Structure formats: C-alpha cells, structure tokens
Amino acid sequence: MLDFLEGFALGLTGLVPFLHTNFLVQFAGSAELVFVSALASSHLVFEAFPTVLFALPSVGHNVAALPGHQLALQGRAFTALRAMLHSVFFGAAFAVAFLPLWLVAAPLALPLAQQFSGYALLVLLALFYLSESKPLTAMLVFLLSGALGFLVFSTPLLAEPLFPLLSGLFAVPALLYSMGSEWPALREGEAFELPLLLVFLGALLGSLSPFLPAVNPALLASVAFLFLESAPLSFLCLASALAASKNVFDLVSSQTLGVARSGAAAAIAAAPLKDPVVVAVASFASVCAALAVAFIVFKPLALAARRVPMRSFNAFFVVFLAIANFLLAGWAGVFVLAVAACVGVLPIALAVRRSNAVGCLIFPSLAHFFALDAVLLAWLY
C-alpha cells in the first residue's frame, strides 16, 4: 500500500513539464511493481495539464499539445481537460477489459501488422493528401518536417529527440502566434459528449504498442491527427485513450512477454517476481485515484494559469522550452528546437493544416519500412 501511495504521489510531478517518468523511476530502488505502475499511471493523468494549458508535449500526450492548446485559446480549456481525463479513464478501463483476449490474439496478429503497416500508412497518407486543398504546399511541409525527423532520429545528434522536435514543431509556433492575444472568456458549462467509439479505437491502438517497435504511439496518434485536426476534441479523446491503454499494455507486457516499450516497463521487466495482475490493478487504481484528484484541481489550475497575462505567459514558456531543452540535450537540443520551430511556423504561414508537421514521425517510419533509411544515411555519411 505504501508503495502504491509513494508511486501515486510521485506521479503528481506530471504537472511539471518535462519531468520524465524515466527519470523518476530511478527512485524506485528495487523497482517495485506496484510503485512503478502507480507512478507511471498517475504521471500520465497529470501530464494532461501542461499539455493543454501550456502547449507542452509530454511522452504520453505528445501531438495532443497542439489541439489541446488550440481549445484552451478558444476558452475551452475546461472542456479539453475534461475530455482528456474522461478518455484516460475509459482508455485504461477498455485496456484492462481487453487484456485476456489480447494475450491470446495479439501474437497471432503481429506478423500481419508488421508486414503491412508501411503500406497501410501510405494509403492513409494518400487519402489525407487527396482531401487537402493545397496538396503540394502541404507535402512541402510534410517533407521538410520529415527530413528533420529523419535527421534527428537516425543520426547520433540527440539521445531524446522527441521533446525538442515536437516542442519546436508545435509548441513554439503555437505560443508565438498567440502572444498578441488575450485569454478568451472561459466556457465553463460547455456540453460535452464523450465519443466512446473513438475512445475504444484509441484503446485498441494502444494495445498494439508492445508489438510494433517501429510504430510507436506518437506515430499512431500522428496518423489519427492527420484526419482529426478539424475535430480537436475528438482527437484529444482518441489520443488520451491511446496513451492510457498503451500505459497499461506496456506495463503488463513487461510481465508477460518480457517486452519493455517504456522506461517504466523496462524498470519492472527485470523484477524477479512477475505479476501482470498486480501491475494491471495498480495501474488502473492509480489512474482512478489520479483522476479523482485531477477532477478536483483542474478548474483551479486552469483559472490560476489565466491570472498571468498571455503575453508574459507565452514568452515565459518559450524561454522555458529553450532552457528545458538545453538542460536535457545541451546546445544540440536548443538548435533542433529552433530548426523545428522554423518548420512549425510554415503550415501556419502557408495556411495549410498543421498536422502536416507530423511528417517528422511518419516519414522516418516509412523510410525504415521501405528500407530507404540506408540509402539516405549512405548519402548523408
């Protein structure tokens, strides 16, 4: 019980941007299953706050930073947070419900998924660009962000390229472009209906995480974002359910399959006593406890953030991002942040969908699937 409470309490640090779960599990000592599961799960819930209020991408809620912050700028921060918190609950609940079937069916489906995932991705991209009003301009943004993503993921520039890349592509342009604005009036009582089908789909996608090393959840969320950019609330629901489900499946698969697809899962993968049931129960209980706290504090936190004038607020976070990336990755991190910000401004200035910038995740994955990475690296080196 004490392990659970300690893990849960440490998970509150999800409120602090860039305080990564991988860093926190170092305090696990003997990597107690309950402590790590509770920590990872409550951290995931509290990460939703900086994502929506400050447009800062986290590990769990990566691409969601953009639509989340867009909603906050429309005065819909409460709705965005409520949508994310509800979706995290149902995503985790669906994940726990899927578990028995997943343990049987997933290994059978794996070869098919590995064989065809690249082609499926290409078809989805083709459909997306057929629906784009300026396909050539949009593709330019996709290719530029793709080239940047390939560079930072394939070469020895950064140990953790995701933070500077996504912060630069999504957070910095969002913060800069909203700097002249004022906080809009808050829509407190906005009606909101949870799209359960999308939440279910998100939970299903999250269940693929342990099996597809080249197709990470950020990529799955990115593909969904291509089609759901115009419906930010729907995207947030799908992405949050995906993150919650991935968290459960990563932790459980570290106990059953020996597969560790996250820092938390890796921390308990080597534990001498394996217990997937304890891990699943601790994870779900921690999500529920964290949601109980989050539902109490989300309004006061959102209101507190609004007390700071938006200009100061945004300027502070642009500087904060630069410092955080410097601390995480040195000057290389700041440089990648700046280059990514230049690419991230393009879709706004060229009036195409910002989701085109997810090329940074999709292009490297396609290059790997179709064995283009060797050609590109041979040309580079």
Partner 1 sequence: MSTASPSDLRLAALCAALALVGMALLAVFSRNAQPTPVDSVTLADEGRLVEFVGRLTRIQNSNGNYFLVVCGASCSRCVVFKSIAVEMNRSSLDLSLLEAGKSVSFEGVVREYQGSAEIVALNAGAIEVLGG
- Positions touching partner 1 (CB under 8 A) are 133-134, 140, 144, 147-148, 151-152, 154-161, 213, 254, 258-261, 265-267, 269-270, 332, 335-336, 338-339, 342-343, 345-346, 349-353, 368, 371-375, 377-378, 380-381
Least Cβ distance, residue 37 to partner 1 (angstroms): 15
Q: Specify the residue, 288 or 372, whose C-beta has the smaller distance to partner 1.
A: 372
Least Cβ distance, residue 84 to partner 1 (angstroms): 26
Q: Specify the residue, 227 or 295, whose C-beta has the smaller distance to partner 1.
A: 227
Q: Specify the residue, 5 or 113, whose C-beta has the smaller distance to partner 1.
A: 113
Q: Specify the residue, 233 or 343, whose C-beta has the smaller distance to partner 1.
A: 343
Sign of the dihedral defined by the CA atoms of residues 279, 280, 283, 288, in that order: negative
**How far, CA to CA in Å, does 260 sit from each of 4, 114, 237, 257, 268?**
21, 18, 25, 9, 9
Least Cβ distance, residue 72 to partner 1 (angstroms): 21
325, 107 Cβ separation under 8 angstroms:
no
271 alpha-carbon distance from chain centroid: 27
Least Cβ distance, residue 298 to partner 1 (angstroms): 32
Least Cβ distance, residue 144 to partner 1 (angstroms): 6
Q: Specify the residue, 264 or 285, whose C-beta has the smaller distance to partner 1.
A: 264
Q: Specify the residue, 260 or 291, whose C-beta has the smaller distance to partner 1.
A: 260
First and final C-alpha spacing in the chain: 53
47, 14 Cβ separation under 8 angstroms:
yes
Q: Specify the residue, 147 or 293, whose C-beta has the smaller distance to partner 1.
A: 147
Least Cβ distance, residue 61 to partner 1 (angstroms): 21
Least Cβ distance, residue 353 to partner 1 (angstroms): 7
Angular region, 258: left φ>0, alpha ψ -120 to 50, beta rest: left
